[in-house]
Amino acid sequence: MKTLPAVDAVIVGGGWAGLLMAKELGSRTSLNIIVLERGPSRELSDYATDMDELDYAIRLRMMQDLSKETVTLRHDITQRALPLRQHGAFLPGAGVGGSGEHWNAQVPRFLPDCFELLTKTTEKFGANTLPEDHAVRDWGITYNELEPYYTRVDKLLGTSGNAGNLRGKLIDGGNIFEGWRSEEYPTPPTKMPYFSALFRDAAKSLGYHPYPAPSANISQSYTNPDGISRGGCTYCGFCAKFGCMVGAKAQPTNLLLPIIQKRKNVSLRTGAWVRRILFDATPKSVAGGVTYIDAAGEETFQPASLIFLASWTLNNTRLLLLSGIGEPYNPSTGRGTVGSNLTHAVGFGAATAFFDQPLNRFMGSGSAGILFSDFDRDDLDRSSLNFIRGGYFAARGYGFQPIGAFGVLPNSIKATWGSEWKKASVSYYDRTATIGFAGEHLAYKTNFMDLDPAYKDALGDPLLRLTLDWRDNERKMAKFATPKAVEVARAMGAREINPFPGLRSYDAVHYNSTHIQGGTIMGDSPAYSVVSPYLQHWQLPNLFILGGSTFPQNASANPTPTILAFVYRTADVIIDRYLKNPGPLA
């Protein structure tokens, strides 16, 4: 094994979390920093020619290469897990920028009570409200503490939107159910495609409070506090699964990489597949560095004083398990912490609506949409509901492309090929759209991750095994949300509507969202959490874990702004306190 000269910090993963940490530490300190990214390098110019539905949206060119590594899945511990051999329910990105390159860039914040979910739910509704085998936890931090960092994230991204709660003052037209914001959004809302506008009017007519989705695919030119300028969105319709052709969508490659590339103290190594974190198992233990296979295939040891794990939810968890750091979670005994609290999102197309008039759905952006959160608020009256928590409804304005959109038909049409099918598919092609629902997923003792006993990656290491299924609360939430969406579709004037058929077993085939969380959760005690709210490992104080793997359970809102807010907070505490006096912060 080749041993490289020691550096001050090594960051595993070059996505949103890793590159934001590299930018903050790299530009505010003189630390010598290496970022290790498994995938290829990416430049903005790569995206000038990527608007090819087949290669990018169907063959998924920007996603992780599953031939090298995937995960296995089972619904409960009595089953044998099998590998997810092709992409489906979630789409981990590969390469510099990670999933932050191919996202839709919808950036709402989490509700204030999400961070104190166990305490607040118990206080308001009593301990019996939570399902018997829940694993819901407080995060060890409050929304008020996090708010300034959320505001920094909005300024970094240039988020477009209308505030609904400005320092406690509710403002019509924004999300009046959101947590308080200290400042208005940096840029005004995006333009609205027809379908989203129809949804807004229908939702309003039913007494809901629709608002423009907070969008990091920005509405107009904006220069952020780092001096990075971007133009506004052109609504070309190629967002999710693509990099942005004009750079209007916030991506690590356009907001973070240009700053990192100017810093002599930060370097980025691509094609570096990290396999282990090495640590010293003495009472005063610290992590010593990481081993990886470099782009030339050589096994390499990179010693470092500070280690950041920022390799997405699933790989963060897997690296701890492979490295033997911490005790793996055991659902039978409840002992151990690594791998616990696996959550996804209750995300599905609640009502697919078929209209008489054309929608021009090729125009739009992944976050130029309308949402309403009347069933996603911390003051919801639960007396008539048989589930807890909630979610938001969405008419997202992402552009439709024909391979994916052709052949979506009302349930009344039974043909799946031939003349009748083709005729109906042509006629409904631009007259079809789906109202989405995104709901919270509670943590349960039975949903967790460990290492698979049978299946291996291309290097011979065990795959990560997910044990994951929906429970009553999610099924009831979906059952509640579906007729609400159907009602809105009807008010929009839909001729026919396909309601969501309901949640059965966890489905790894159809896309849900890439919002998988947990495995290395934060909390105020090492008894149940892996890191403190400063994202510092409880046992190895020079190891920090960034990303959705630190979320104790998932919220309804898209996770990226919350991930970035925590990275800012951790960068601050490292610069202000840790570097002066390395050791436990909490």
Partner 1 sequence: MRRRHFLTLSAATLGGVLVYSLDRKAAVLAAQHKPVRVPLRFFTETEALIVAAAGSRISPSDESGPGAREAGVAIFIDRQLAGSYGRDRFRYTQPPFEEAPRELGYQGSATPRQIYRDGLKDLQGFHFLTPAAQDEALRKIESTLFFALLRQNTIEGMFCDPIHGGNAGMIGWQLVGFPGPRMSYFDEVDKHYGKAFRPKPMSLRQTTGAKIRPSEDEP
Residues that bind partner 1 (CB under 8 A): 48-49, 51-55, 58-61, 65-67, 69-70, 73, 75, 80, 82-86, 88, 191-194, 197, 232-238, 245-246, 357-358, 360, 362-364, 368, 401-403, 406-407, 416-419, 422-423, 426-427, 429-430, 454-456, 504-509
Q: Shortest distance, CB of residue 359 to partner 1, whole angstroms?
A: 8
Neighbours of 197 (CB within 10 A): 16
Q: Yes or no: say if 81 and 471 are a contact pair by the CB < 8 Å rule.
A: no
**In the complex, least distance from residue 552 CB atom to partner 1, rounded to whole angstroms:** 26
Task: In angstroms, give the least distance from the CB of 335 to partner 1.
Answer: 29
Q: CB-wise, 237 or 391, nearer to partner 1? A: 237
| Dist CA 425 CA 181 (whole Å) | 45
If the CB atoms of residues 358 and 501 are measured against partner 1, the closer one turns out to be 358
Q: Which residues of 536-553 are buried (b: 16+ CB within 10 A; e: fewer)?
A: bbbbbbbbbbbbbbbbbb
Active site residues: 515
**Residue nearer to partner 1 on the CB measure, 284 or 414:** 414
Q: Which is nearer to partner 1, 257 or 503 (CB)?
A: 503
CA nearest neighbour of 108 among 514, 473, 438, 431: 438
Q: Which of 344, 339, 350, 313 is nearest to 506 (CA)?
A: 344
State both tokens at 395: 């008419």
- As measured in angstroms, the least distance from the Cβ of 294 to partner 1 is 22
Task: Count CB atoms within 10 A of the CB of residue 560.
Answer: 26
How big is the CA angle at 152 (ends 537 and 155), to the nearest 5 degrees?
A: 140
Output the smallest distance, CB 362 to partner 1, in A.
6
How far is it, in rounded angstroms, from Cα 269 to Cα 538? 28
What sign does the dihedral 52-53-55-61 (CA atoms) show?
A: positive
Nearest to 530 by CA among 360, 317, 347: 317
Contact 498, 480 (CB under 8 A): no
- What's the min distance (Å) between Cβ of 508 and partner 1? 6
3-state secondary structure of 341: strand
Output the smallest distance, CB 438 to partner 1, in A: 20
Nearer of residues 26 and 349 to partner 1, judged by Cβ: 349
How far apart are alpha carbons 484 and 439 in whole angstroms?
14
Locate the DSSP E strands across 490-558: 496-499, 517-519, 543-545
Q: Closer to partner 1 at the Cβ: 149 or 235?
A: 235
Minimum distance from CB of 515 to partner 1 (Å)?
19
DSSP category for residue 575: I
48 C-beta neighbours (distance < 10 Å), count: 12
Distances (CA, A) of 186 to 154, 233, 259, 405: 7, 15, 21, 34
Closest CB to partner 1 among 143 and 429?
429
What is the spatial distance between Cα 243 and Cα 423, in angstroms, rounded to a whole number?
34
Q: Using an 8 Å Cβ cutoff, are 408 and 424 in contact?
A: no
CB of 403 to partner 1, least distance (A): 5
What are φ and ψ of residue 315, in 5° steps?
A: -75, -30
* 400 contacts 428 by C-beta, under 8 angstroms: no
Of 17, 33, 13, 14, which Cα lies nearest the Cα of 25? 33
What are the Cα distances from residue 568, in Å, to 146, 336, 370?
10, 28, 29
Tokens representing 408 are: 């979506």
